[in-house]
Amino acid sequence: KPVTIEVGKSVERLKLNTKERLENVFVEVRELTILPENVPKLSGKVYVYLEVEVSVETGETEGEIEFKVSKDWLIENDVDKSSIVLKKYVESEGWITLETRIIREDENYVYYAAKTPSFSLYAITTKESTAEVTTITGITTTTQKAIATPTEKTPGFEVILGIAAITFAIRKMGK
């Protein structure tokens, strides 16, 4: 059975799904004005960037995030309510779109829900938004060739090789 945590602000609630009983759950939801350095901004219209941290003693937890978007923001930004999605930042893949659905609306907000396989960074944004690509110029790369140089010789190797050659020659002559 999922555990529901009421949050408030842009994120209304989190539903945590786990097979085991949850104890010592830590949940923190932050609206970000600045993204971490390694995370690209999305181009297009972004309602808010979020960081959702969920720590439980039983390990990874999947869940569902319920969030809301102001109807005033939708009107001001000429955004159709059906084009809002929740995007999750995955380090190896970048921004991925989570399946997002409208669950209700009132006179001020449209409420959405999106399932997530884990918790991290998110953007409440439009379907059309994509990661901005920053082009860096003026980088100089220096490549240095590694050259193998012989190390000290193994002492006595020539003597052993000489004895083996003489032994082979004597056997050959004896036949």
Per-residue model confidence as pLDDT tens digits over 13-69: 888 877 667 677 778 888 888 888 889 888 889 999 998 888 776 666 788 999 999
Percent of the chain with pLDDT over 90: 35
**For residue 151, is pLDDT > 60?**
no
Cα–Cα distances in angstroms (integers) from residue 51 to residues 29, 75, 119, 120, 173, in the given order: 6, 26, 8, 6, 84
* Distance (Å, whole) CA 14 – CA 53: 11
* Distance (Å, whole) CA 81 – CA 71: 8
* Most confident listed range (22-31, 71-80, 131-140): 71-80
Strands lying side by side in the sheet with 11-17: 3-8, 11-17, 62-70, 109-116, 100-105
Rounded average pLDDT over 124-150: 49
Q: What is the pLDDT of residue 169?
A: 47
Number of alpha helices (DSSP H) and beta strands (DSSP E) in the chain? 2, 10
Rounded average pLDDT over 68-84: 95
Residue 69 near residue 110, CB atoms below 8 Å: yes
Q: What is the pLDDT of residue 58?
A: 63
